[in-house]
Each structure stands twice: as C-alpha cells, then as structure tokens.
Chains A and B, each alone.
Chain A
Amino acid sequence: MADKRTAGPGADTPSVLSIRSLQKSFGSLRVLEDISLSVERGSVVSIIGPSGSGKSTLLRCASFLEHAEGGDILYDGQYALKDGVYAHKSELNRFRTRFGLVFQNFQLFPHYSVLRNISEAPILHGENKEEVRERAYGLLKKMGLEGKETAYPYQLSGGQQQRVAIARALCMRPEILYFDEPTSALDPELTGEVLKVIRQLAEEKMTMVVVTHEMPFAKAVSNRVIFMADGVIVEQGDPIEVFENPREERTRQFLRVFER
C-alpha cells in the first residue's frame, strides 16, 4: 500500500519526506505498525482517522519528538533514521531545520511578544536580525496579523495565536510543514481563519502534512489523503476517491460518522 514511486537515495527527484516501515510502540502497545509514506515537493497530504489511530504519533516521529524503534525516515533522500537507528545528534539538528511543526495547542512562548516568538529561533541560528525581522513582518501581514507584533499571546484569540504559530514555523523557512490537528483546540467560529491560511499556503505550493478532523477541508485542499486506524495505514489515495469511493470497509465506517 505504500507509495512505491518514492525511492530512497539515488532517485531523480527525492521526496521531501519519505518514511518506510516505521515501527513505534509505547511499552507493549504498538502505535505505529509498518508505516510507509512519502510526500512530494509542493503537495499537501492529509492524515485522517479516529483518535488513537497513531496519526499524531506519526507526525511526532517525523519531527523527532518521538523515537521510532524501526524503519527509515528520509528527508530529501537523506537518512535521519535508518533501520531503527538515528543519525548523529548534530545531523538530526540539521534535519530539524527542514521541517516546521504546528501544534494543536499552539505552544507559543507566553513571555515573548508575537514578533519575538516568530523571529528568535532564526536569529539564534545565526541569521541576520534585520532580515529575519523583515521576514517576520511579511509573514504577519500574510497571516492577517498586521500590527500585532508587540502583542503578547494572551492578548490574542485562539485563531490569532495559531496563525502566529504558523508564522513562527514558516519563519524558519522549512521545506515541509506539519500540522498536528491545528484547529482542534479552537472554537468552531475560529477554525475558518486558520484553515484559510493553510489553504493559502497550499496554493503557494508549500509542502504540508496535515493531521485533521476537518473532512471538507482535507477533501478540498489535499493532493492525497491517508486514512489511518489502529497504527496502520488502511487506505490512501486521491481525496475524491478516498472520500467518495473508499475501497476499505474500515474507511467507509469512519467516514459515515462525519456524513451525519
């Protein structure tokens, strides 16, 4: 079921991210079982599935927040994890600059202003302060948060905070952006503004993996949808196909809940 078109090293245009046979368990509980997927440059992949299916864990493995026990993780064809063995710490740090992660609960730094939240990390990485600031202002404008530079997170609504978090991730200029249920912590009336921003990024061909419960959004925006359940990828493919004509019974069951 894995996408066989993605090759490892040596392929002409390596995928931004490819994961092969990933294994992960918490104690005796298997949470990821033989997961393989790849994400092409400029594409948007949505991961859907019931809670506890392992979709968040998958993102957290891809961003090194969880340690997988087996399989490979490659960024641009380079091994971050090979056969269950991680690359050296310093190399992992270099891989970290390739992706950004947006959390469900934003995880902005409450003691920093919006501007500092966005700009501190790149500056710490040695980038020119003025350039980073310039970029941060640009991103804020893009997120519809002009004039909020000096505000503190507690002064913003949940939707605004999440857009700051997206700007913070983008300011690192990642090749791929992960979203871990970006709208789940938001009041329903605020999800729209965040989804709009993600949609806009998709139009700009930002490579993204989105774990989400927003089915219409997943259907409309993604290039590919992955349905996960019980730690395995049950089905993946073109969003129209997965949503309208799922091959697997498990997928049909899951989607039926959302139709009501």
Chain B
Amino acid sequence: MSLTTMIIKMSEGLTRTCAIFFLTLIFSLPLGMVVALLRMSKVKIVSAVTRFIITVLRGTPLMLQLLAVTYGPYYLFGATVARNKLIPVVIAFSINYAAYFAEIYRGGIESIPIGQYEAAEVLGYTKVQTFMRIILPQVIKRIMPSVTNEVVTLVKDTSMAFTVSYQEMFTIGKQIANSQTSFTPFLVAGVFYYIFNVIVDYVMGRIEKRLDYYK
C-alpha cells in the first residue's frame, strides 16, 4: 500500500475523529455547567449524588465507560447494540468530559469573590443576570487554560473509540498497520494528531487573547 493510499484511507477516519471531537465539545461544555451547578447545589442530597457521579466518571477509565455505554444496555436489559457507534461514543465522551469540565467550572465559579455577587445584588441584577453577565464571563477567562488542556487531551482520547470498534482514524491506522505489517500508519496517525492539536492550540490561544482585554 502506498503512503498516499494510506493517508487517504486514514483521512476518511479523520472525519469520524472530528465528529467525536466536535460533538463531544458541543455536548460536554454546557452539560459540564449543569453538572457544576448541581454539584454546588444547596440541596445536600443533590450535591452529594452529583459529587458521587463525578468521582465515578473521573475515577474510572474512559475506555470502561465506552464499553459500559455501548454494551451495558445489552447486558443489563437485552437492548439492541447501536449499529451506529458514533452515538454511544459521543454519549460516553460527553458524559466523561462533562465531569471534568464540571470540576473546572466549579473551581472557576468558586474563585470569584463573593463581593461580585453582592455588588450585583445591590445593583438589582437578578440571579440569572448576575450569573450570565458578571460571574460567567470572569469564570470563562479564569478557566481557559484548564479547558485548553482538556480539549488537547480530547483530541488524543478520540482514539479510544477504537474500543467499541468505531472506525475513527486510529482504528483504521491500526487495521492498516496490521494487514501491512508496517509501522507507518502509526507515524501518520501521530502527525495527524499533532497537526490537529496545533490547530486547537492556535484557536484556544486566540480565544485567550481576546479575553486578555482586562485583568
């Protein structure tokens, strides 16, 4: 197999890799905020349950969670295993990353001085206005470096979709490597991931820069 064929084959998988990446971000970023707010709930049982779920999601391998989401329903209820593996993959990734984002958000929210809430309250901002206008923008600026870290990790984590036979780039690379008894596909995969992350770094850097107008 020529290098060109190899790259073309693997590029097909790259579309799926991108699908995992973007869909996971689209779902997990807001979901993480919901989880963070539940985690900080004043209702003790809500925050305790949320906290437990977060520790499970952060304390078990993503690979296990992928298996659980994909095959768990079949083993538990005899439900049909999804033919389109993108669905369980994105669900597992989104839930897992939401747990990580939730803790980042929580750290960010808790780092905002209580005085900011009080100033907004005295000025008659509603709770929602206070959060959306005063707190959240400051939180976003503070957590950007941690979020960038997670996003870079996500790029590399997409290769784990292999566990449930989702034909993303790395899975295809492995198959080629196997049938051609060649290491080249792994090299190609490495280059792909590197380029992907260079782009991610650039974009995140731009966002951080745009938030740099205040201190």
Contact = CB atoms under 8 A, between A and B. Distances in A.
Q: Do chains A and B touch in the complex (CB under 8 A)?
A: yes
Contacts of A93: 124
Contact of B214 (A65, A101, A153, A168): A153
Contact of A110 (B121, B125, B215): B215
Task: Decide if the interface of chain B is mainly helix, strand, loop or mixed.
Answer: helix
Interface stretch (A5-13, A19-27, A73-81, A119-127): A119-127
Interface residues of A, number: 26
Interface stretch (B84-92, B134-142, B200-208): B134-142
A184 interface: no
A100 B123 CA distance: 7
Interface residues of B, number: 20
Contacts of A125: 124
Contacts of B113: 105, 107
A120 B133 contact: yes
Contacts of A97: 124
A13 B140 CA distance: 49
20 contacts: A65-B122, A96-B121, A96-B122, A97-B124, A99-B122, A103-B115, A103-B118, A103-B119, A105-B115, A107-B116, A108-B119, A109-B119, A109-B120, A110-B215, A124-B125, A125-B124, A152-B213, A152-B215, A169-B122, A172-B124
A124 B124 contact: yes
B125 A65 contact: no
A107 B123 CA distance: 12
Nearest to B115: A107
A65 B124 contact: no
A111 interface: yes
A53 interface: no
A181 B144 CA distance: 35
A60 to B, nearest CB: 8
Interface string B87-130: 00000000000000000000000000101101111111100010
Nearest to A120: B133
Nearest to B134: A109
Contacts of A254: none
Contacts of A111: 137-138, 141, 214
